[in-house]
Amino acid sequence: MNHREGDLPVSKNIEFLGQIAIVTGAASGIGEATARLLASRGATVVLADRNEEQLLETAGSFDRAGLKVSSCVTDISDAESVKGLVAHSQALGDVTILVNSAGVTGPLDRPTHELGIDEFDATYGVNLRGAVLLTMAVLPGMIRQSYGRILHVASIAGKEGNPNMAPYNMAKAGLIGFVKGCAKEYATQGITVNAIAPAVIRGPMMDAEPREQIEYMLGKIPMRRLGEPGDVAEVISFAVSPACNFTTGFVFDASGGRATY
């Protein structure tokens, strides 16, 4: 039987009434779709992004839709900026959810030996260092509450690697390793730490990639289509909900069947 959206009730276990959620990379793409979904299910969402103009535009659209939202311009690679984001969020209440969707692709057009170490550093700074800074900043509050949900957006590139994307592959693989180890440290304290590994998803990051790179990645997807931000947002919504209470250190799949592990 086919069901249209709205036909089925939302389980109480995937509602977020009274919860404060931080979503980074929230101005567009997966971050925006996830923030909108969490807000539609009752959360007060703090939208974080370093693109101030686009962030304000996105926050305005949330306001017009009657969703509970605040915004904070944030560079997650900067420790002071991350501290400011968490302080801004805690002023609204206890932060119970972190969804880190901020990311950069880094260089896409050259093999490893032609890259500068500064290009590795810049990609790592957002995709891995930023994830560590965010996690460290929200954990103390979650420990006090004996509850928390942390979800980092990794990538299929962190599992399998893609050619001419060495800095991105490195950072996302490191992120997956960080999630797996970190999850075990807090597994008895009501806190889950998970990741999701999307393949090629329609949005600004995809738009920055050369067409031949997109075709290469599409050729590896059994579903033979691009993913949509909403496809990923639905999985994230479950992963940061009370319903997801016996899964931690896991990398959820959003690859159209490319990686089933």
Catalytic residue ranges? 168
- Report DSSP state, residue 65: T
| Residues 6 or more apart whose Cβ sits within 8 Å of residue 179 | 152, 154, 193, 194, 195, 249, 251
Q: Are 215 and 226 in contact (CB under 8 A)?
A: no
In the chain, the amino acid numbered 65 is: A
Structure tokens at 123: 């990609």
Q: In whole angstroms, what is the distance from residue 125 CA to residue 92 CA? A: 28
User: 200: closest CA among 179, 187, 189, 215?
Assistant: 215
Distances (CA, A) of 68 to 32, 38, 218, 255: 14, 10, 36, 31
Q: Are 36 and 8 in contact (CB under 8 A)?
A: no
Residues in the chain: 261
Three-class SS state of 201 = strand
